[in-house]
Structure 1
Amino acid sequence: MDSLQPSVAFPVVEERPPIRLLFTALLLVMLLGALDQTIVSTALPTIVGELGGLESLSWVVTSYLLTSTIVVPLYGKFGDLFGRKVVIQASILIFLAGSVLCGVAQDMTQLIVLRALQGLGGGGLMVVTMAAIADVIPPAERGRYQGLFGGVFGLATVVGPLLGGFIVEHLSWRWIFYINVPLGVLALIVIGLVFKPHVAHVKHKIDYMGAAFLAASLTCIILFTSQGGTLLPWSSPQLWFTLVLGFITLGGFIYEERLADEPIMPLELFRERTFVLSGLIGFIVGFSLFGAITFLPLYLQVAKGSTPSQAGLQILPMMAGILSTSIISGRLISRIGKYRWFPICGTALVACGMFLMSTLQLTTPLHTMYLFMLLLGLGLGMVMQVLVLAVQNAVPFKNVGVATSGATLFRSIGGSVGVATFGAIFTNGLQSRLADTMPPGAELPRSMGPTTVEHLPAALRHTYLNAFAGSMHVVFLVAGAVVLLAFALSWFMQDKPLRK
């Protein structure tokens, strides 16, 4: 009878691949994907100074976030269908090709398009590596390995701006992309040699139509938010047609999700109040987080005259705040079994931090700014991971995976829309202020990086910096107002007993 029993799901320890070596390679892959979401922030002012296109600055970040967000659910299905190993290798190759091409970009348009290509690979780096652990680690041992992935993501959030600033200052902004190549090749070699997945492939029906509708909708909505009042006047029929098309394709996405056998976002999840509230709050938190990470280094380098590496160091208070409260809130929730008050307190702190940032003047001491950034980070850390925990605790076990992906998707979409919106608000404000205050006959250079601003005539530099700071005030003021909406939504969250 024993011979008729099915074989165990996991091989004995001796037959496993070298777990530590493989896991190190997977961590390296995760680090590559996570770093590229933040490493560019301190390099953006230098990139604008060389390539021009200040009005398109936010799209260097947005294009990567947009494409990497859209392909996440597809990579999950591809991993089940074709096997995790080949999908990881393919995503690394796409990411590395995009990295090399970004490094040789000759203008802002090329860089934006190539960042989108890089994002197509980057979206797979994180989601497939997380899933790959299930191929080689038994369930009882997975927790400690998955926890290290979370640590790497947090590390990338802190190290990214620092590393980006150091590379820009001592090498060239192009090396923030080239540095991916040796690390990615090393990960490719190790994965190719030691990753031997043994889990049977699962046949899926991939919702390509849903992904296409989602991509079209997000692209149209982000184009509307980023071009309104900057590249196109608000009265432009083309601009409003873009928004209408975005809502039409959003309707197409919802309709497709109702019919799809395996939808990207099962509509039944929206019957769960916790999922809806967590998604909306997560969208707003992503909106604030990526907007702050993108525009704070710009403010520090232009308004405060910081070097790229100094700017990376100067936003450490915000990153330290995020890391500390992420860890502390997780431990407290495990101890007390309640989580509702963390999003409430966190969004309140984020709103206060944003409103305080909107009061910054050119003469504001840096230590005051550090305090505001710390407050902002403490609030963000209290919200991000708690929302995922709340969703996982609220939905049935069979929907935990897709609900977690959905919560992450909302936050990533918020980041894409936030960076584009902040970019439009900043550019529109800067252009209008300069038009009102520039001396007659004065002209600014096409490329306005920190070095260019520093070498402007004194009177013109003063005019530009005042316009720049005033535009940043509006960015943070709008962000604070939006976060107040998340604060209001947080009060409707319910504490549900944590499942054992």
Structure 2
Amino acid sequence: MSRPSSAKYRNDNADSAIDLPQPKDKHRKSYLREAQSASDGPEADEAAPVYPSATKTAIIMVSLYISIFLVALDRTIIGPAIPAITNEFNSIGDIGWYGSAYMLTAAGFMLLYGRVYTFFPTKPVFMSGICLFETGSVVCGASTSSMMLIIGRAIAGLGSGGIFTGAILIMLNTVPLAKRPMLQGLFGACFGVASVAGPLLGGAFTESKATWRWCFYINLPLGALTILVVCFMLKLEEKKPKLANWKETIKHLDPLGTALFLPSITCLLLALEWGAADYPWSAPRIIALLVVFAVLLVAFVAWQYFTRNTTATVPARIIIQRSIAFGGASQFCVGATMLTVSIYIPLWFQAIKGASAVQSGVNTIPLVLSVVVGSIMSGGLVQKIGYYTPFMILGSCLMAIGTGLITTWNMSTNSSMWIGYQVIVGFGVGSTMQHPNIAVQTVLPKHDVPIGTALLSLCQTLGGAVFTAVGQNLYIDKFTAGLERIDGIDPQRILGSGATDLTSGVQPELQQRILAAYNNSLTQGTFFAALIIACLAVPAALGMEWRSVKEKQVLTPATRDVEKEVSRIERSGFGGIAAIPRTGSHEKDVGELSLPPVRPPIPARNSLYRISAAQFSGDFSSYFHAKVNPDLRQEPNTRRQDEEGVF
């Protein structure tokens, strides 16, 4: 898990605030460039990228938002349609697969997509993901059997796995880093709106003449719009690593790593899907799934370590980078909290407040609006001041506080309380959700952004999948235990009822006790689990580096002119910048340029101090890399040799 040693990976990072230290050319040095490299900022040897016009950028970004909205919508829209689907296909035994098939392929192939985006052009890979997603939607909408529907869901999930990463990479090549936070925040707004709009649209389609099939057909016109915009308006100039042949390409995609990771994730999600709901946790099938998951995961990690110098799917330089590690933990917590509360809050309204399916969705509008406002407001403020870490800390705290307040809901909770508590949670989620992706673009070199983005997207997806299952299991366990304490009822019949039919056919004096047991199972089971994971988001946010999206340093045109002048003088036989003539035309050419004060090269005797002092400086990650990652330990020695070569 390391940086490849080949020079083809050492692309300049024009859109990132930091790059890995690169060995310098010993045979030919410029004192000016050496002095600038000592200022802790990356160099940009190439001209600044050219971005499209504002109008074209707006159209491209809208199409990307549509694609993200569809991917997020597809995770939740099928829920209200499942009863109608099972009635048509007589497939009650396949209910779990309708959601699992989508999540399995989406989560299982995310890391592979990150690798594909590293070596192949972004535009065709992104369009292939959209086409796969659209194909899966067509298969689902036209399905004539339960198996056909499951296959369609798997195909749609496979396509969705690469859409979010591709959208981030397109934005990276379309918008400058300092202007991305606001637009990145709208990605979070799309996720928030889709999480709540999915059940509403699913219920509306299912109960109308459109039928449940339009839960999938809705993707076709909107997805086609994205394909047209990307195809005809998007022009990307990328420099991807050049590999010798297809055999070398397949080798660098790490097929063995994928072969280990995919079944590992599959076993985990199936165990969570079936545990408690279909089989007890002590059942041999569940135990076998968890054991296979653990064994394959260990094998995957071992393989990544073994291939750290060559073809690892997740290089060590990425996963142990401080902001990536803590950002992934934050995404896991935020994804788990958001999806859990957005799924179970409507159920609480239906059961405890007697709201219909549509009205329960309307009652969650405060959650949606606060996510949107939090995403846009925090993105705008990050764009203004540059730093995203304080908003992650604030958002994580608000998310934990709001989730804790939701655990206090009871049958007498009034509207001002359930509206206010949702606003706190939503604003916290919105202020936190997308900033780790901004961190990826800030701290990683451009060629590592695809893998970093895919890793964070995987963490968010797994967080939602794992804790949705955990919340369901806790709800079933606590509700079952509560019902068993009530005499005169059949717990299994009530457990099989919908949220709005819990008390149908039950004696009036027992109805309030059943509702109290249901309320307790949600607030002290499902929502309490969400509270725990929301609290863990706070230390994850505190661990993020304080980096600014405005700290990218590039050579200005004036500095480039001076570099050209220095190179010309060196070619004429002078020794360096100190030898530039102080009189005549050269003095005039150089003196008119705006050149910042140049610090002298750092003496070799100070190189050891510079490395040891890194642990006390703001550049913690460089020190951490040099100490932990075995593939970067040679870099301090390389820099020391370079500096000694000056003298």
**Range into which the TM-score falls when normalised by the shorter chain:** 0.7 to 0.9
Alpha-carbon offset, residue 126 of structure 1: 3.0
Determine the structure 1 residue equivalent to 2:72: 34
Q: CA deviation at 1:341?
A: 3.7
What are structure 2's unaligned runs of at least 5 residues? 1-46, 244-248, 553-647
Matches within 5 A, 1:413-424: 413-424=462-473
Greater displacement, 417-426 / 188-197: 188-197
Alignment of 1:2-21 (within 5 A): none
Q: Which residue of 2 aligns with 1:95?
A: 133
- In structure 2, how many angstroms separate the alpha carbons of the residues matched to 1:195 and 1:338? 29
Alignment of 1:429-448 (within 5 A): 429-437=478-486, 439=488, 444=493, 448=497
After superposition, the Cα gap between the structure-2 partners of 1:55 and 1:144, relative to the gap in structure 1 and judged at 3 Å, is farther
Gap change, CA 1:168 and 1:228, over 3 Å in 2: closer
Aligned ranges 1:148-297 → 2 under 5 Å:
148=183, 151=186, 154-155=189-190, 157-158=192-193, 161-162=196-197, 164-166=199-201, 168-169=203-204, 171=208, 172-188=211-227, 203=243, 204=249, 205-260=252-307, 261-297=310-346
Amino acid of the residue matched to residue 158 of structure 1? V
Report which of the two has the higher share of helix.
Answer: 1
TM-score, normalised to structure 1, is 0.80
Cα-to-partner distance string for 1:382-415 (whole Å, 9 max, x where unaligned): 2222333344444456534433332332222212
Match of 2:527 in 1: 476
In the TM superposition, what is the alpha-carbon distance from 1:373 to its structure 2 partner?
A: 0.9
1:434–1:467 Cα contact (<8 Å) kept: yes
In structure 2, the residue matched to 1:3 is none
User: Is residue 66–residue 413 contact of structure 1 (8 Å, CA) maintained in 2?
Assistant: no
Alignment of 1:307-318 (within 5 A): 307-318=356-367
2:346 paired with 1:303: no
Looking at structure 2, the residues matched to 110 and 426 of structure 1 have their Cα atoms a distance apart, in angstroms, of: 31
User: What is the RMSD computed on CA atoms of the aligned residues?
Assistant: 4.2
Q: Following TM superposition, by how much is the alpha carbon of 1:236 offset from its aligned partner in structure 2, in angstroms?
A: 2.7
Residues 289 and 415 in structure 1, CA contact (< 8 A), matched pair in contact too: yes
What is the CA–CA distance in structure 2 between the aligned matches of 1:129 and 1:31, rounded to whole Å?
12
Aligned match of 2:109 in 44, 63, 71?
71
Structure 1: distance between partners of 2:515 and 2:91: 18
Relative distance call for 1:132 and 1:440 in structure 2 (3 A) is closer
**1:245-270 deviation digits (Å, cap 9, x = unpaired):** 21111111112222443433212234
Helix, strand or coil: the match of 1:210? helix
Displacement of 1:210? 1.8
CA contact (8 A) 2:181 2:438 kept: no
User: TM-score scaled to structure 2, two decimals?
Assistant: 0.64
Match of 1:428 in 2: 477
Aligned match of 2:413: 364
Deviation at 1:117, TM superposition (A): 3.2
Change (3 A) 1:56 1:491: farther
Three-state SS of the structure 2 residue aligned to 1:444 is helix
1:127 corresponds to which of 165, 188, 193 = 165
Q: 1:129 to 1:326 in 2, by over 3 A?
A: closer
Amino acid at match of 2:467: G
Match for 1:485 among 528, 536, 544?
536
CA contact (8 A) 2:332 2:460 kept: yes
Distance in 2, Cα, partners of 1:19 & 1:276: 31
Post-superposition offset of 1:480: 1.0
Aligned twin of 1:349: 398
Mapping of residues 400-419 of structure 1, within 5 Å: 400-419=449-468
Query: Which blocks of at least 5 consecutive residues in structure 1 are unaligned?
Result: 1-7
Distance 2:125 2:548 in 1: 38
CA contact (8 A) 2:66 2:222 kept: yes
Q: Residues 262, 318 of structure 1: CA spacing in aligned structure 2 closer, same or farther, 3 A cutoff?
A: farther
Letter in 1 for 2:129: S
Q: Give the Cα separation in 2 of the matches to 1:461 and 1:108.
A: 37
CA contact (8 A) 2:341 2:530 kept: no
Structure 1: which amino acid aligns with 2:296?
T
Find the structure with the greater CA-based Rg: 2
**1:433 Cα deviation from its structure 2 partner:** 3.1
Give the conservation status (yes or no) of the 8 Å contact 1:220–1:243. yes
Residue 188 of structure 1, CA deviation: 4.7
The 5-angstrom pairing of residues 330-341 of structure 1 reads: 330-341=379-390
Q: Greater CA deviation, 281-290 or 196-205?
A: 196-205
User: In structure 1, how many angstroms separate the alpha carbons of the residues matched to 2:491 and 2:77?
Assistant: 35
For 1:154, give the aligned amino acid: A
Residue-pair matches, total? 489
Distance 1:109 1:380, change over 3 A: farther
Question: 1:426-456 deviations in whole A, cap 9, x for unaligned?
Answer: 2333334334436256762896334544754
Deviations 1:225-248 (A, max 9, x none): 343333222333432232222111
Instruction: Output the CA distance in 1 between the equivalents of 2:216 and 2:451.
Output: 32
Are the structure 2 counterparts of residues 283 and 231 from structure 1 closer, same or farther at C-alpha, using a change threshold of 3 Å?
same
* Closer/same/farther in 2, CA of residues 50 and 365 from structure 1, 3 Å limit: farther
Identify which range, 20-29 or 464-473, moves more after superposition: 20-29
Distance in 2 separating the partners of 1:47 and 1:464:
29
Q: Is the 8 A contact 2:494 2:502 kept in 1?
A: no
